[in-house]
Amino acid sequence: MGIELLSPAQMAEADRLAITRGPFDGPALMQNAGSAVAREILSRYPQAQTVHVLAGPGNNGGDGFVAARLLAEAGVDVRVHCEGHPRPGSDAEGALAEMRLPLLGFDAFAPQASDVIVDALFGAGLVREIGAPHAPVIERANASGAPIVAVDLPSGLSGETGLVLGIAIRADLTVTFFRLKPGHLLYPGRDLCGETILVDIGIPADVLADIGSRTFRSVPELWRTHIPWPDSGSHKYARGHVGVFSGGPSATGAARLAAISAARAGAGAVTVLSPRQAVQVNAMHLTSVMLKRTDTPEEAVMFAADRKMTSALIGPGFGVGERCTEFVLALARLAAGRPFGLVLDADAITSFENAPHRLFEALAAIGSETGRGCAVLTPHEGEFRRLFPDLADAAGLSKLERARRAAERSHAVVVLKGPDTVIAAADGRAAINTNATPFLATAGSGDVLAGIVAGLLAQGMPAFEAAAAGVWLHAEAGARFGPGLIAEDLPGLLPAVLAGLRDSQGSSS
Ligand SMILES: NC(=O)C1=CN([C@@H]2O[C@H](COP(=O)(O)OP(=O)(O)OC[C@H]3O[C@@H](n4cnc5c(N)ncnc54)[C@H](O)[C@@H]3O)[C@@H](O)[C@H]2O)[C@@H](O)CC1
Ligand SMILES: [K+]
């Protein structure tokens, strides 16, 4: 299953290119789409009394007409509800002409819980809020208790943003075509889709080269080849040295959690840089991770240069304020023009709430290309709002777009966390993570994620790929543990997750 995500406009372009290039013309693609829907219904709901097909005015409705015809041919009791007529000359009009079933109005739509509903009202062509006469039909469908199969997208869901335009179908199954759309993966869209299956309807993959999508599902296929596996010549400093900055004596756990996570992610050496007052408490809890007393940004920079530090993480438990901003700015200067990865999380983000431009200017100097320094910001929604209040409040802007614009503005890779974490790079690439588990919503989980990303950066993995891989590894570890997960469990789960990745090298998932 391809990893590119297409906006509805890009999907329309894919349809158009496919139709001009062949082998399938518009009606044939529609036939393939509608028959995939009918096939799923026949195999999943063989006991259904009646299948109600809700057909809209565009080609999504056309897919519905094809499915209705095929289901009726298979002996199913099918009722097609539609208002208005498809556009003359459209593929949907052709599909309607072939269907030869009576058209019922929306008023006659009265589904029983034992029926099945096919939602073919709107797909990629949804352009405005749902109103009459479709809103009441969607309400009735959702309230009926009958399973709903959505064609392409649950009607009312924006394929571009994952947001609802007024009201939306809550589907049990969504059958979509060629490539997923961001709306299938971003919340609330992901919930509204139910199970989503992707069907090949004969659109040739080479149309993607013309479309040039820069949005992806974050699965191993996207970043696996960049994972830095050690070879026989690797010594510990060749595998990178991560510095993790500790907070004061009562806030040291976050840094240690991040440090051990960086080590588990493969960094050859990890040092906790601790203020004097916290050295003792850190020393009591560290074994393979090293410890260095560091009270000033100058000491940090000197140590980093002396000991060939290749990445640093600052923020978790560090404390909000001017001291934090000074450390961050010094580390950003260090990273400018050399291969050094800087991960800013939690307090390192919040400390710039009153002057985000100071941070962005410093990060702009780093540059984000492979082989040079790079920065990764890992905000949750609250921290994101502190740096990018206008983006956080922009109505109708998708999480994908917010992350993308934030990356462009900050000159960093932005990891906007949540159940649908988005990873975005300043060059326009973006990925949506898909393997999260709700068990990851636990204290310290973010520290582990930041540590994993710092560990991967230290080994020279490019920032976008390291961030995306870090999010995936973190989620995969959480999913393997399941109920009862606490953040301390996560680092110990990484070896098995990494081994699974290495062993499946070459296959896709
Ligand atoms: N031959 C083709 O072009 C193919 C099309 N496909 C299907 O076609 C769909 C896209 O078709 P369309 O581009 O015609 O788009 P849709 O069928 O999603 O809807 C477009 C129509 O809905 C109207 N509309 C949009 N928002 C509305 C609202 N809120 N209230 C009332 N009316 C509204 C538009 O004016 C237009 O008439 C895909 O989602 C897919 O299901 C697939 O069958 C593949 C082949
Ligand atoms: K639909």
Question: pLDDT 10s per residue in the chain (509 long)?
Answer: 799 999 999 999 999 999 999 899 999 999 999 999 999 999 999 999 899 999 999 999 999 999 999 999 999 999 999 998 999 999 999 999 999 999 999 999 999 999 999 999 999 999 999 999 999 999 999 999 999 999 999 999 999 999 999 999 999 999 999 999 999 999 999 999 999 999 999 999 999 999 999 999 999 999 999 999 988 777 777 899 999 999 999 999 999 999 999 999 999 999 999 999 999 999 999 999 999 999 999 999 999 999 999 999 999 999 999 999 999 999 999 999 789 999 999 999 999 999 999 999 999 999 744 547 899 999 999 999 999 999 999 998 999 999 999 999 999 999 999 999 999 999 999 999 999 999 999 999 999 999 999 999 999 999 999 999 999 999 999 999 999 999 999 999 999 999 999 998 755 44
Q: How many Cα atoms within 13 Å fall on the side-chain side of residue 125? A: 12
Number of structural domains, the chain? 2
| Strand stretches in 335-480, DSSP E | 341-344, 374-377, 413-416, 422-424, 430-433
Are 18 and 141 within one domain?
yes
Are 128 and 178 within one domain?
yes
Are 329 and 206 within one domain?
no
Q: Would you say residue 229 lies in a domain?
A: no
Protein residues near ligand 2, an ion, with CB under 5 A: 119, 123, 150-151, 155
Q: Would you say residue 194 lies in a domain?
A: yes
Which stretches within 307-355 are classed as H helix? 322-335, 347-350
Of the three residues 213, 231, 263, the one that is the final residue of a domain is 213
Are 48 and 88 within one domain?
yes
Tokens of 197: 């299956």
Per-residue CA distances from 207 to 17, 21, 63, 124, 509 (Å): 6, 9, 22, 18, 22
Q: Yes or no: say if 343 and 378 are a contact pair by the CB < 8 Å rule.
A: yes
Whole-number pLDDT of residue 508: 44
Residue 48: CATH number of its domain: 3.40.50.10260
Can you tell me which atom of ligand 1 is nearest the CA of 153? 39
Are 279 and 356 within one domain?
yes
CB 124 near ligand 1, within 6 Å: yes
Are 192 and 310 within one domain?
no
Are 127 and 62 within one domain?
yes
Q: Would you say residue 2 lies in a domain?
A: no
Whole-number pLDDT of residue 506: 55
CB 147 near ligand 1, within 6 Å: no
Q: Would you say residue 503 lies in a domain?
A: no
Ligand 1 centre to CA of 144 (Å) is 25
Of the three residues 195, 213, 231, the one that is the final residue of a domain is 213
Residue 252: CATH number of its domain: 3.40.1190.20
Residue-range definition of the domain harbouring residue 55:
8-213
Output the residue whose Cα is nearest ligand 1's atom 39: 123
Q: Would you say residue 144 lies in a domain?
A: yes
Q: Would you say residue 291 lies in a domain?
A: yes
Q: Would you say residue 285 lies in a domain?
A: yes
Integer Cα distance of 310 and 236 in angstroms = 12
Q: Would you say residue 369 lies in a domain?
A: yes
Task: Give the residue carrying structure tokens 């096919």.
Answer: 118
Ligand 2 centre to CA of 63 (Å) is 9
Which phi and psi (to 5°) does residue 364 adopt? -60, -35
Tokens of 494: 């990484």
Per-residue CA distances from 212 to 205, 223, 455 (Å): 12, 18, 31
Of the three residues 196, 213, 230, the one that is the final residue of a domain is 213
Are 245 and 114 within one domain?
no
Are 206 and 273 within one domain?
no
Which phi and psi (to 5°) does residue 177 adopt? -125, 140
Are 248 and 209 within one domain?
no
Are 437 and 392 within one domain?
yes
CB 59 near ligand 1, within 6 Å: yes
Integer Cα distance of 413 and 117 in angstroms = 42
Integer Cα distance of 224 and 317 in angstroms = 31
Q: ipTM score here?
A: 0.98
Are 52 and 109 within one domain?
yes
Can you name the residues that pair with 216 across neighbouring β-strands?
4, 431
Q: Which residues are annotated as a binding site for AMP?
A: 417-421, 446
Which phi and psi (to 5°) does residue 80 adopt? -105, 125
Query: For residue 129, which ligand has an atom nearest its CA?
Result: 1
